[in-house]
Amino acid sequence: MFAYSYSRYGSPAVLEKVNVPTPAPKPNEVLIKICATTVSAADWRARSLTMPKGLGLVGRLVFGIKGPRKPILGTELSGVIDTVGTEVTNYQPGDAVIGFLGAKFGAHAEFVTMPADGNLILKPDNIGFEQAAAIPFGATTAYDFLINKVRLQAGEAVLINGASGSVGSACVQIAKHIGAHVTAVCSGKNAQLVRRLGADHVIDYCTQDIVRDGVHYDVLVDAVGTLPWSKAQHAARPSGRMVLIAGKTSDMLFGALKAKLKGKKMIGGVARESRELLAEVVGLAAEGVFQPVIDRNFPFDDMRAAHTLVDTGHKRGNVVVSVAKLLEPTKVG
């Protein structure tokens, strides 16, 4: 099979299309023929080893000290079950699925194996393969932080910084679905997009201050790392909460303490990866409550170009890569 691999950190030029053996599923695994994948912020960080200031060593410990520990990137996918292991009973060849490999990576390839009881679910018939591949990363992050960790409530005011990205655009839609009042922060060119997603108010960070005197929020979400606590604290109501999905090293390490001293709360860390969480967000997509935003769809041969777009830091939603053009499959049997 063909896959994109890298052996050193750097620009998209480090990616090489290589021919590697197609993996064979273990008894409890399935082999998936990948239809579509994405290039996410996680892929960008792992490939370039771009880390917040002071966390370079941590990055190498996570991704590989001398070189990449996971040579094939790709955190999310849609595809069709090709082969099932001898112990698998919940899937059969021909099933269309959505998978979230997360930190395991491996989706920038024509095939991948996953545990049958892993972060893998059947793809709803009303969701196309390209759209399906763009669901897991952004939506599970948004859902886990807003629903499970922050417990955002109807009627609360939420500010979402980086509202036009993969995570931010999912945050806008999920927050609006809950019944929150959403203020979205993005560039002026993306204002129409986030309004269409449900934002009640839009702040253009290019021409306006994100934090303004007298305007306060119950929850502030920083999805891009440009709203430090030193600024955000003034916009948080008493007992307000801040979600730190990306941010300064000092906020990552000491933000919870700094917020507590002000009678407020900062919630950081990483989003949980689970089959149940994936099922929740795919269910929202099937119901039409959530739609992943797709900036561009690249063919598999243009994987480097897809990474280059993500490197700009200005993608709208998700960057999808089509690996194989498949019709909606017909199940065997």
Domain ranges of the chain: 2-134+293-322, 137-267
Instruction: Measure the CA angle with vertex 43, ends 78 and 202; round to 5°.
Output: 85
3-state DSSP assignment of residue 238? strand
Q: pLDDT tens digits, residue range 39-56?
A: 999 999 999 987 777 667
pLDDT, position 333: 42
Closest by alpha carbon to 333, among 125, 83, 94, 89? 94
Domain 2-134+293-322: state its class: alpha beta
2-134+293-322 with 137-267: one CATH topology? no
Q: Are 169 and 143 in contact (CB under 8 A)?
A: no
**Which regions of the chain are under pLDDT 50?**
329-333
pLDDT, position 225: 86
Q: What is the pTM for the complete model shown?
A: 0.89
Long-range residue pairs from 302-306, CB within 8 A, at least 24 positions apart, any chain: 303/4, 303/15, 303/17, 303/39, 303/108, 304/12, 304/13, 304/15, 305/12, 306/39
Cα gap 48→67, rounded to integer Å: 11
Cα gap 301→332, rounded to integer Å: 30
Sign of the alpha-carbon torsion through 322, 274, 280, 232: negative
CATH of 137-267, one of 1.10.730.10, 3.40.50.720, 3.40.50.2000, 3.40.50.1000: 3.40.50.720
Q: Are 243 and 221 in contact (CB under 8 A)?
A: yes
Going through 68-145 in order, the beta strands assigned E by DSSP cover 76-84, 96-100, 111-115, 120-122
What backbone phi and psi angles, to 5 degrees, belong to 50? Answer: -85, 115
- Token digits for 278? 């994936």
| Distances in whole angstroms, Cα of residue 221 to Cα of each of 25, 243, 315 | 40, 5, 18
Q: pLDDT tens digits, residue range 68-87?
A: 999 999 999 999 999 999 99
